Chain A
Amino acid sequence: MNAGRAWIPLLLVLAATAGCGDSPDARQPLTKLSITGSSTMAPLIAAIGKRFERRHPGVRIDVQTGGSSRGVADTRSGLAHIGMVSRALRALEQRDLVGTPVARDGIGLIVHNTNPVGALTPRQVVALYTGGMTTWRPVSGKDASVVVVNKAEGRATLELFLKYFHLTNAEIRADVIIGDNEQGIKFVAGNPHAIGYVSNGAAEYALRHEVPIKRLPLTTASAPPAAGHPAPSPLARPLTLVTTRRPPALAQAFIAFAASSHVHDLVAAHYFVPLAA
């Protein structure tokens, strides 16, 4: 009957897990705030949440990811108290939701750092992205085919890019389509002839840590790019926290904290732009 002994540990584990089930959720005044949404914002909001927890003992902030749409859907359905949306709210969403921007994230063009091209005009960017220009030669670059990196359908950065350059996604002739910013940076860093657009924060960090990419400023005929501090890019999106029209008090307190100057250092540490106070 020795074989029976093999099952003893299993039973013990079963008993132990059953024991864990006895701790029911506290249904007292809200102490656990659940936040879901944009994966770009999640690391920042989680850090803000930790600081908030330290100031309000007993409160727990649970941050989940799954994308901006998930943030909107879960806030509507009540699954989450707060949603993270890495863009401005659409008109349809503003009917039943309230958005509060907590930071901004710019978008910039990046190329490999061996690419001799120094700057592009919007017209040239459009030509590169729509197949009107297939090598780098016409913008005094190398005689090599351009590898155009575009973002996947539905991403806020794509929307912003298309709107800024007056394009539709159907017009773009992409060679590679990516999801997240880091994927774009890693791809461009490994490909000397690629061009892509990513979140400025992510690009900034990569630049400072010797990833072989460089940012490509946009020029217009009238104003050449200023050296040093560039003007705030028009290609920027607000990082927004959304709630229903009547959020719980704790959610309001958290949003107020996240939008305050108490967290500007965290915003900067995640390479986003704090909102002017």
Chain B
Amino acid sequence: MALVLLVFFAGLLGHLLWHGAAGLSWELFTAPPRHAGRDGGIAPILVSTGLILGVCMVTALPFGLGTAVLLAEVTQRRSWTGEFVRRSLDTLAGVPSIVFGLFGNAFFCVTLGLGFSIMSGGLTLACMVLPILIRTAEEGLRAVPREYRLAAAALGFSHASTVCQLLLPAAVPALLAGFILGLGRAMAETAALIFTSGYVDRMPASLWDSGRALSIHIYDLSMHVPGGDGRAYASALVLIGLLLVINAGAMWAGRRLTAQWILVA
């Protein structure tokens, strides 16, 4: 059974490579799309994707870490509020992305007046990835041995310094894993972005501009543009490549941070 699945996955990746490799070129990364994306490159789309992810992570990380620390380090076992936050997060994780999209459109674009913009898209995505970030960070913090906290308390550390200087650095690998998982989810998102960050494939001038994300580009090319398949495959390959780079980068950063921390400790 596992083998069958492996075959499926190999089939999927092979299929992408087979159809997409021909479309990979230098032009793809440097040129703007032409003829609705059938020709040309995806440069503005890459920039928009990066900005959307940036907004998403910059907003989601502080909230995510804060909530995770609260759940793991502050709330007690029988705390009613802690349980409530945890259950709301589990529920949020299951809200379909299209609902997030429609909600983001109504709230960020219309109510807050951000319009179709990279800002709206990033904030909507932040709402989506928050549950993943928090749950993985909480698990990571719980995995830090109890002795650390006891030792810190015995040394007279304040709770704040225990968290900031001991627990969070010790949990860096888990935090990174959560970060990667969240980023992957955000990058793969389509339905939530159509209604928020929008469809404009021009190079964005600011965060208040509409910008097309890579996954929307893939969706549009494969579903609305006759003959867009070639570029759609190539874009999908680029997306997977980006994920690989981000994974590797995060791992490298994680290793450096952990090494530094051990030196200090």
A interface, CB within 8 angstroms of B: 1-4, 6, 10, 13-14, 17, 20-21, 23, 25, 34, 39-40, 42-44, 46-47, 60, 62-66, 79, 179-183, 201-202, 204-206, 209, 269-271
In terms of DSSP, what is the predominant structure of the interface of chain B?
A: helix
Q: How far is the CA of A2 from the CA of B225 in the complex (A)?
A: 52
Task: Determine if B36 is an interface residue (Cβ-Cβ < 8 Å).
Answer: yes
Contact across chains for A17 and B35 when beta carbons are under 8 A apart:
no
Collect the chain A residues with CB atoms within 8 Å of residue B207's CB: 17, 20-21
Collect the chain B residues with CB atoms within 8 Å of residue A60's CB: 202
How many pairs, one residue from A and one from B, have CB atoms within 8 Å of each other in the complex? 96
In terms of DSSP, what is the predominant structure of the interface of chain A?
A: helix
Q: How far is the CA of A6 from the CA of B110 in the complex (A)?
A: 36
Contact across chains for A3 and B116 when beta carbons are under 8 A apart:
no
Decide yes or no: A64 and B199 within 8 Å by CB, A42-B224, A206-B226 being known contacts: yes
Please pick, from A25, A44, A179, A206, the residue contacting B208 in the complex, using a CB distance under 8 A: A25
Decide yes or no: A47 and B35 within 8 Å by CB, A3-B169, A6-B257, A63-B199 being known contacts: yes
Collect the chain A residues with CB atoms within 8 Å of residue B227's CB: 205, 209
Please pick, from A17, A39, A64, A66, the residue contacting B58 in the complex, using a CB distance under 8 A: A17
Task: Determine if B138 is an interface residue (Cβ-Cβ < 8 Å).
Answer: no
Collect the chain A residues with CB atoms within 8 Å of residue B35's CB: 47, 269
Collect the chain B residues with CB atoms within 8 Å of residue A182's CB: 222-226
Task: Determine if B200 is an interface residue (Cβ-Cβ < 8 Å).
Answer: yes
Task: Determine if B64 is an interface residue (Cβ-Cβ < 8 Å).
Answer: no
Q: How far is the CA of A179 from the CA of B98 in the complex (A)?
A: 15
Contact across chains for A62 and B220 when beta carbons are under 8 A apart:
no
Contact across chains for A43 and B194 when beta carbons are under 8 A apart:
no
Contact across chains for A43 and B210 when beta carbons are under 8 A apart:
no
Contact across chains for A180 and B223 when beta carbons are under 8 A apart:
yes
Contact across chains for A202 and B226 when beta carbons are under 8 A apart:
yes
Contact across chains for A64 and B200 when beta carbons are under 8 A apart:
yes
Q: How far is the CA of A20 from the CA of B263 in the complex (A)?
A: 38
Please pick, from B168, B198, B220, B226, the residue contacting A3 in the complex, using a CB distance under 8 A: B168
Collect the chain B residues with CB atoms within 8 Å of residue A209's CB: 227
Collect the chain B residues with CB atoms within 8 Å of residue A3's CB: 164-165, 168-169, 261, 264
